[in-house]
């Protein structure tokens, strides 16, 4: 999609049903990774040629969402129905481990220092904290409701997590691994995206059809951005892309 003109400029066909969900660009290699749930794999795509150049097996069904370590070496997927997290060698294109977590998981996040990975138990109000060194669940964080998408702040101090059942964002102190505060947002928050400069967090709110903007210095909602109903996934257009478009 060309952002300035909002026109579709091309498409990539997987050739069969794969149920693609999340696309993640690795700034280190320039490769694009896309989860393909039905194939139990991550598709590896060259965005310049728009060609599939390989794949990474996840070793589990329903590999739904993924995150990369900041050096791009490791990938982590949340596998919905098995309720597990896969650890992937992105360069070697192989599965390193599959970590049992809960009956159902879906979204996933990673800490700024890559030491922790987080995924919500979608059957109980708690968050799994996974130690990336031991590749095991280190502990659980009790939450005031069932949770969904999460994102860590750039300074490594906080994890923000969407809690749809109470229409709020929980703020977890990563030094104590406890909920420090909750922030009311739009109805049914889904995903959280933190601005590249670390100052603002954007929260998609499905039932209210809006995106709540949270000032991370004051922990307050400073803007409600109207969208269509069902707002969910969020992505950030890079400043480099903005310069190319002349804006």
Structural element, H or E, at residue 183: strand 178-184
Q: Are residues 94 and 210 in the same domain?
A: no
CA distance 206 to 69: 28
Across the 247 residues of the chain, what is the mean pLDDT of every consecutive 10-residue run?
90 93 94 97 95 97 97 98 98 98 98 98 98 98 97 97 97 98 98 96 97 98 96 79 33
Determine the pLDDT at residue 201: 98
Q: Are residues 179 and 112 in the same domain?
A: no
Q: Which of 108, 142, 176 is the last residue of a domain?
A: 142
- For residue 3, tell me if it sits in a domain: yes
Q: Are residues 39 and 138 in the same domain?
A: yes
Q: What is the CATH number of the domain that holds 81?
A: 2.130.10.10
> If phi over 0 gives left and psi between -120 and 50 gives alpha, with beta otherwise, what is residue 244?
alpha
Q: Are residues 132 and 27 in the same domain?
A: yes
CA distance 41 to 80: 14
Q: Are residues 121 and 166 in the same domain?
A: no
Q: Which residue has the tokens 């050739």?
A: 15
Q: Are residues 170 and 127 in the same domain?
A: no
Q: Are residues 136 and 168 in the same domain?
A: no
Structural element, H or E, at residue 244: helix 239-244
Strand 116-121, strand 32-36: pairing: unpaired
Smallest CA-to-CA distance from 56 within 71, 70, 76 is with 76
Q: Which of 142, 170, 189 is the last residue of a domain?
A: 142
- For residue 196, tell me if it sits in a domain: yes
Determine the pLDDT at residue 244: 32
Determine the pLDDT at residue 238: 66
- For residue 151, tell me if it sits in a domain: no
Q: Are residues 167 and 134 in the same domain?
A: no
Q: What is the model's pTM?
A: 0.93
- For residue 216, tell me if it sits in a domain: yes
Q: Are residues 239 and 200 in the same domain?
A: yes
- For residue 33, tell me if it sits in a domain: yes
> If phi over 0 gives left and psi between -120 and 50 gives alpha, with beta otherwise, what is residue 95?
beta
Number of separate domains in the chain? 2
Q: Which domain covers residue 60, as residue numbers?
A: 1-142
Q: Are residues 84 and 201 in the same domain?
A: no
- For residue 120, tell me if it sits in a domain: yes
Determine the pLDDT at residue 243: 34
- For residue 218, tell me if it sits in a domain: yes
Q: Are residues 95 and 186 in the same domain?
A: no
Q: Are residues 57 and 122 in the same domain?
A: yes
- For residue 154, tell me if it sits in a domain: no
Q: Which of 109, 142, 175 is the last residue of a domain?
A: 142
């Amino acid at each position: 999609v060309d952002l300035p003109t909002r026109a579709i400029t091309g498409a990539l066909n997987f050739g069969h049903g794969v149920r693609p969900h999340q696309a993640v660009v690795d700034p280190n290699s320039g490769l694009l990774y896309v989860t393909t749930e039905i194939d139990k794999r991550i598709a590896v795509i060259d965005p310049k040629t728009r060609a599939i150049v390989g794949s990474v097996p996840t070793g589990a069904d329903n590999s739904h969402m993924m995150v990369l370590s900041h050096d791009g070496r490791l990938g982590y997927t949340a596998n919905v129905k098995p309720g597990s997290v896969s650890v992937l060698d992105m360069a070697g294109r192989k599965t390193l481990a599959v970590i049992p977590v809960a009956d159902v998981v879906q979204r996933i996040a990673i800490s700024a220092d890559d030491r922790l990975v987080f995924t919500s138990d979608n059957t109980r109000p708690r968050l799994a904290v996974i130690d990336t060194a031991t590749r095991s669940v280190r502990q659980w964080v009790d939450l005031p409701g069932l949770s969904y998408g999460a994102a860590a702040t750039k300074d490594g101090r906080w994890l923000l997590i969407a809690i749809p059942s109470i229409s709020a964002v929980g703020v977890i102190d990563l030094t104590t691994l406890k909920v420090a505060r909750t922030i009311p947002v739009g109805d049914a928050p889904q995903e959280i995206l933190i601005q590249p400069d670390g100052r603002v967090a954007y929260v998609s709110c499905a039932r209210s059809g809006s995106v709540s903007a949270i000032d991370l210095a004051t922990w307050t909602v400073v803007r409600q951005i109207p969208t269509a109903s069902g707002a969910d996934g969020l992505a950030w257009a890079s400043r480099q892309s903005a310069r190319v478009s002349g804006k």
